[in-house]
């Protein structure tokens, strides 16, 4: 065995050692989890005299247009879809119309990470416009929920909404607008709406406001006349929020004096390698004198 061969063999072993020990260092990183969806979007139809529509969505980064919601009628509010934040074009076509037809309405939504939005068509069909409403995901004050009003009744015009024996949700909101959120103590409530444009026009709805819940009340033209109130649960949190962290382990698999054990094994490994190295050198020396 000559020196070059020993060196080759030792260097091969060194490479193997590095490869074997490097693997566990690299593995954890490969399990990291990138965020695919970080925002929420839903669609809504708040135009009393506009027929059902199909809603399409186009990502600005990418450009492909896809059918998102099919057959959305007046008063419909879709469920939220998790979506990647960014800028999108929302377009509406009459229900069943080909995607190659020009849309009746197109508008842009800019979705920020960690936020929820409602993209809605509002107004009468001759003044149809697309709006983007930012929906809150903030936790309501303890023991209460947040409630707001979306005024989509053309008949009612200006409306006041209040919880019976409770807080005023809005003193005056106009057709096509959305109010701010109002904290309402959790519990069962009757919400009364009164039009100021049409004093004979009024409506009510029962709603359970959960602790940590967020609710929208949508005012709609009733199919058979009148004013209809519909409630939509926008978001909900855990009612009773536990304090602090969770104690969920007994420690039975925790490294026992981990650092010391690691050092011991590492030194044992090094010692082992050194011994074998010296052994290799010795046998090489013994060979040398007999070589020509």
Of 29 and 224, nearer to another protein (C-beta) is 29
DSSP 163-174: ETTS-EEEEEE-
Residues facing 131 on adjacent strands: 120
The alpha carbon of 85 is separated from its chain's Cα centroid by a whole number of angstroms, namely 9
Of 200 and 285, nearer to another protein (C-beta) is 285
- State the pairing for strand pair 39-46/81-83: antiparallel
Of 125 and 283, nearer to another protein (C-beta) is 283
CB atoms within 10 A of CB 197: 14
CB atoms within 10 A of CB 133: 17
Q: How far is the CB of 190 from another protein (least distance, A)?
A: 16
Closest CA to 219 of 250, 198, 236, 243: 198
Q: How far is the CB of 210 from another protein (least distance, A)?
A: 9
Q: How far is the CB of 234 from another protein (least distance, A)?
A: 6
Q: Please answer whether residues 231 and 148 qualify as being in contact, where contact means their C-beta atoms are separated by less than 8 angstroms.
A: no
Of 19 and 225, nearer to another protein (C-beta) is 19
Of 199 and 251, nearer to another protein (C-beta) is 251
Token pair 């139809």: residue: 45
- State the pairing for strand pair 144-152/213-221: parallel
Closest CA to 151 of 89, 206, 201, 212: 201
Q: How far is the CB of 80 from another protein (least distance, A)?
A: 4
Q: How far is the CB of 66 from another protein (least distance, A)?
A: 6
Query: Based on C-alpha coordinates, what's the Rg of the chain?
Result: 34
Q: How far is the CB of 204 from another protein (least distance, A)?
A: 15
Of 172 and 223, nearer to another protein (C-beta) is 223
């Amino acid at each position: 065995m000559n020196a070059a061969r020993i060196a080759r063999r030792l260097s091969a072993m060194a490479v193997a050692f590095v490869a074997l020990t490097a693997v566990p260092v690299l593995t954890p990183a490969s399990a990291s989890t990138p965020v695919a969806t970080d925002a929420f979007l839903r669609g809504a139809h708040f135009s009393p005299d506009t027929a059902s529509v199909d809603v399409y969505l186009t990502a600005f980064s990418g450009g492909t247009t896809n059918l998102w919601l099919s057959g959305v009628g007046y008063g419909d509010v879709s469920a939220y879809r998790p979506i990647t934040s960014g800028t999108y074009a929302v377009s509406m076509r009459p229900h069943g119309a080909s995607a190659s037809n020009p849309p009746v309405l197109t508008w842009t939504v800019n979705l920020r990470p960690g936020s929820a939005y409602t993209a809605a068509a509002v107004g009468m069909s001759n003044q149809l416009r697309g709006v983007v409403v930012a929906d809150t995901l903030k936790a309501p004050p303890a023991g209460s929920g947040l409630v707001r009003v979306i005024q989509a009744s053309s008949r009612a015009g200006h409306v006041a909404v209040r919880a019976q024996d409770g807080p005023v949700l809005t003193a005056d909101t106009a057709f096509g607008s959305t109010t701010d959120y109002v904290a309402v103590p959790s519990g069962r409530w009757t919400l009364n709406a009164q039009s100021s444009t049409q004093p004979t026009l009024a409506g009510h709805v029962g709603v359970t406001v959960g602790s940590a819940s967020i609710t929208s009340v949508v005012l709609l033209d009733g199919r058979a006349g009148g004013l209809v109130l519909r409630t939509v649960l926008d978001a909900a949190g855990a009612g009773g929020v536990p304090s602090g962290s969770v104690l969920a382990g007994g420690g039975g698999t925790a490294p026992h004096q981990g650092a010391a054990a690691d050092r011991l094994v590492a030194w044992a490994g090094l010692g082992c390698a050194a011994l074998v190295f010296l052994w290799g050198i010795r046998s090489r020396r013994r060979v040398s004198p007999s070589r020509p």
